[in-house]
Homo-oligomer: A and B are copies of this chain.
Amino acid sequence: MFEAAELGQTLSKADYDAGLAKLRPALLEAHFALKDTKVPVIVIVSGADGAGKGEVVHRLNEWLDPRGVDTQAFWQTSDEERERPRYWRFWRALPARGRIGILFGSWYSEPIIRRVYGEIKTSKLDTEMDRIAFFEKLLADDGAVIVKLWFHLSKKAQRRRLKDLASNPKTRSRVLPSDWKHFKFYDKFTEVSERALRRTDAGHAPWHLIEAADRRYRELTAGQILLQAIQAKLAGLQKAKTAAAPAKPAKTTARRGKSGITILDHVGLSQRLSDKEYAAQLEKQQSRLTRLTWAAWEKKVASVALFEGWDAAGKGSAIRRVTAAMDPRLYRIIPIAAPTDEERARHYLWRFWRHLPRAGMTTIFDRSWYGRVLVERVEGFAREDEWKRAFLEISDFEEQLAESGIVVSKFWIHIGKDEQLRRFKQRESIAIKRYKITDEDWRNRGQWDAYKAAINDMVAHTSTEFAPWTLVAGNDKKFARVQIVKTLCQHLEAAL
């Protein structure tokens, strides 16, 4: 594979200047056109040590409008990063729509280096590359342009380059001790990189091999590849625009058996607790939760608990019974309403990644990423292809949480349609509860069957071994609350 980047490519100064004179205005123009789109551009700068990657980063910053560029170097990790799932730091660094993010180092570096040094096996490398492929697909599906540049040096060229850098007082400090250490592993590094690149070379995120020995050649080539990638995307958008306007996204059709029976119909809504049973059991489970959340803190086990349910199902009051048992230092509640513009400017999962708990802590989501396959699906805010692929995107997200040791609990609080009506009416009659009932609630109620189908699909697709759904019988609030606190305890106990 890398032979293609050992051809001795060079550029004369005249050719470089001529190329640059064409490239720069075109690149700026493309960058400005990009600003008005919803497209984030992700440029990954990677490859051999001493291949001039840092200089390329400088050059791209020079050629683009610096106000529209975010350059992010992945290097040392902070404890806030280490205490969260590995991809947290990458999500954190993703550029907003209309901007160009230049990533110096990326999600590729760690698995490749670890494989080179024998810390992981080839099978693990492959798994990591598959995760990357999935991640890049998810970003591309969201509209991102992904430009992956790999700067290659032949063994001879790399040795010469490191020596040159080290002998020049101006550049000496750019050679890190680790660079020479890596050089000893040149052959292994080449072999592992080839494997990694092959496995992640996709149409929506292709690798570009660039021969890096000649400065002028590598820089101009990098700029040209970036330009072509942006231009191609802009042309695609233009084409889509001039094509017939797509039909309004089809609302969900309740897909279920003719009987209309879904998984929700199996929730035993008649289950209840007497006041006495409730008081005793809640007290018992809350004490247990208090103990367990402190134990989790000591063992640095983090938790994510999310609450979904019909309007008026009692999410809020259930959450309060949970938090009443927890020290306020140990949890945060994240209510999910309309996204901020910083959130809207990124992939829909970004706003959830940003709130993941640190080691030992709990994040409680009051509504969650499942909005994608519930309200966004039913109301047609997400296209069918978008909410359909969300099942897999969400499962992958939750798998990453589970892999990092986070205890994931997901509650759907179910109530009957009649019970909902009773509660709506009751809420309207009680002063301090009136704020809880809005026109939207009534509108949602009109879509009961569509939601029921969506919920059924959601549970079917996303109840996994590592993040199972708990369907809570909510007609009796007392029963529901005890069940929820108890389930959280069971999940924590299993993990500790």
Contact = CB atoms under 8 A, between A and B. Distances in A.
Interface stretch (A54-62, A152-160, A220-228, A455-463): A54-62
A413 to B, nearest CB: 16
Given A66-B366, A170-B286, 16 more contacts: A24-B432, A54-B327, A54-B328, A58-B320, A62-B320, A65-B435, A66-B333, A67-B335, A71-B328, A72-B332, A78-B78, A104-B329, A169-B287, A170-B287, A173-B291, A174-B290
Interface string A141-173: 000000000000000000000000000011101
Interface in A60-77: 61-62, 65-67, 69, 71-73, 75
B73 A329 contact: yes
Interface of A: 24-25, 28, 32, 54, 57-58, 61-62, 65-67, 69, 71-73, 75, 78-80, 104-105, 169-171, 173-174, 283, 286-287, 290-291, 294, 316, 319-320, 323-324, 327-330, 332-333, 335, 337, 340-342, 358, 366, 431-432, 435
Contact of A73 (B294, B323, B328): B328
Contacts of A366: 66-67
Contacts of A58: 320, 323-324, 328
A69 B333 CA distance: 9
B341 A340 contact: yes
Nearest to A286: B170
B32 A435 contact: yes
Contact of A79 (B62, B79, B335): B79
A66 to B, nearest CB: 6
A173 B65 CA distance: 55
Contact of A340 (B69, B330, B340): B340
A152 to B, nearest CB: 20
